[in-house]
Chains A and B, each alone.
Chain A
Amino acid sequence: MAEIKVENLALGYEGDALVENLNFEINSGEYLCIVGENGSGKSTLMRTLLGLQKPMAGNIVFGDDLDSTQIGYLPQQTLVQKDFPASVYEIVLSGFQGSMGLRPFYSHKEKKEASDALERLGITQLKHRCYRELSGGQQQRVLLARALCATKRILLLDEPVSGLDPSAQTEMYQIIRRLNLEGVTIIMISHDVHASLHFASHILHMGSQIFFGTTEEFEESPIGSHYLLKEKKTLGGGHICDLDRVAKIKVKEGK
């Protein structure tokens, strides 16, 4: 059973369709990267998956007892957060808001789970630090920990490495990869096609040509090979961050 199945979806604003007839599905434990140019509807798709926006047509079918509010979401950082006085722990705990209903305060169990999430991402020592004083990579981990509090199963990441320096990018990809190996389904919006091809099990390409399939299929498709060629030209085959180091996790953890 698919976790999320998208059928004939049309996306857009006020009657103007950006994308039509979008079909794809993602199963438990998969790693889907959504790539495409700016303005191709990636963000709109994401907002629709999260239930922030209504689709113009078509359906999104969620798997057993999953709904859009149980997707752990890692948004891009906002301007407001840049100088927001908040401790890491306060932010991570706020991940439980969705499941709390009108209950005003956090339970012991939730506090424990928040601590576990910090532990899982290796930021326990930052628990009482001020969010705005952390590095970009640390901030992303905090927001990821918050997303883990909102979900057990599925994470939706919006350009999780944008604005990070290369080593922080590598670390972030490593963390996402590890979470995926631990069984969390990943949906990631990315500019970085190269990195996407390295880790993703499936690729959704949006734009003038829509492609959905496994990563291998994408590499062999006309649009995929076009991308690879372009990447080679612009980057000379080199990568911004150390992708091989990330990929090694697979070998190390023996999966």
Chain B
Amino acid sequence: MLETLQLYFSYPFVRYAFVVGILIALCSALLGVTLVLKRFSFIGDGLSHVAFGGIAIASVMNLSNQMILVLPITVVAAIILLRTGQNTKIKGDAAVAMISVGALALGYMLMNVFSVSTNVSGDVCSTLFGSTSILTIKGFEVWLCVALSAVVLVVFILFYNKLFSVTFDESFAKAVGTKTDHYNLLIAVLIAVVIVLAMNLVGSLLISALVIFPALSAMRLFKSFFSVTVCAAIFSVVCAAAGLIISILAGTPVGATIVTVDMVGFAIFSVIGKIR
């Protein structure tokens, strides 16, 4: 088994997949804590569908680097969703549902009508479930992923205390002069970036799992914001690494495997949390 792994790791694309996968897992877990606590997890879900629509447009336009188009589309959608969540006639959750199914339908339609490929359902499936895209990632995209992850990490650390205060008690934060709107916007943009990154790893349908499972698992066991954040990050990285290795060895789809490992981890944490 070790030899098989060694053999696989001698290929650069496997090493790339590992580095990128772990960075993505780390970023999504960190933001996931804020997202879950702010009751924003549904926004993550909606955005992932928007990103799917974005990919469909990008593939129809035959772009070689899809991220360049998908990223701005998702960021804009994040901002719109956040604004609609606050003060419009259509309430937040309904708006998210509307935008996400809309993007999903539009994306599938575009891929069907304008497709240049011979295997449309294969394309759709790999976009939704990420089957092999993490293993085909290369060159520029690897560096883009690394750079964006680094940006997300640095911003998260620098604004950690502010994110805590805005998440815990928005009205207090606002009353003492924190620009809560700016931070909500920051959160939305960061989510959008993480989601576009995570599409490479697990595909657009499974992204929410990367965001939600680490945070919820950590919350079973830990009781301060700091310990929950750290635990979620470690949990996510371990699950992503384990999922990648299992999928290489057993030949299972990468995204689904990682999410399955996440679910097992969550179950274990829940049981430990109950017992203690």
Contacts and interface: CB of A to CB of B under 8 A. Distances in A.
Contact of B223 (A69, A70, A71, A130): A130
Interface string B159-183: 1111011011101111111100000
A104 B158 contact: yes
A186 to B, nearest CB: 16
Range class of the A interface residue count: 35 or more
A160 interface: no
A86 interface: yes
Contacts of A93: 161
B276 interface: no
Interface stretch (A72-80, A196-204, A218-226): A72-80
A130 B174 CA distance: 24
Q: In the complex, which of the residues A73, A75, A97, A99 has the most CB atoms of chain B within 10 Å of its own CB atom?
A: A97
Contact of B175 (A69, A84, A86, A87): A69
B21 to A, nearest CB: 27
B225 A95 contact: no
Given A80-B38, A81-B169, A105-B161, A90 B175 contact: no
Interface of B is mostly: helix
B121 to A, nearest CB: 42
A50 B169 CA distance: 15
Contact of A85 (B173, B174, B176, B228): B228
B98 to A, nearest CB: 25
Contact of A104 (B159, B224, B227): B159
A128 B223 CA distance: 9
Contacts of B160: 104
B141 to A, nearest CB: 30
Interface in B162-218: 162, 164-165, 167-169, 171-178
A73 B172 contact: yes
A90 B224 contact: yes
Interface residues of B, number: 30
Contact of B224 (A78, A130, A146): A130
Contacts of B171: 52, 73, 75, 78
Nearest to A93: B161
B168 A84 contact: yes
B225 A97 contact: no
A97 B39 contact: no
Interface in A94-111: 94-95, 97-100, 104-106
The binding surface of chain A is classed by DSSP as helix
A150 B173 CA distance: 10
Given A85-B228, A86-B224, A86-B225, A97 B165 contact: yes
B27 interface: no
Given A86-B224, A87-B224, A106 B172 contact: no
B33 to A, nearest CB: 9
Nearest to A158: B171
A188 to B, nearest CB: 15
B226 interface: yes
Interface in B139-173: 157-162, 164-165, 167-169, 171-173
A98 B178 contact: yes
B37 interface: yes
Nearest to A91: B168
Given A84-B37, A104-B160, A52 B225 contact: no
B249 to A, nearest CB: 35
Interface of B: 37-39, 157-162, 164-165, 167-169, 171-178, 219, 222-228
Interface of A: 50-52, 68-71, 73, 75, 78, 80-81, 84-87, 90-91, 93-95, 97-100, 104-106, 128, 130, 132-133, 143, 146-147, 150
Q: Which 3 A-B pairs have the closest CB atoms?
A: A98-B176, A69-B177, A130-B223
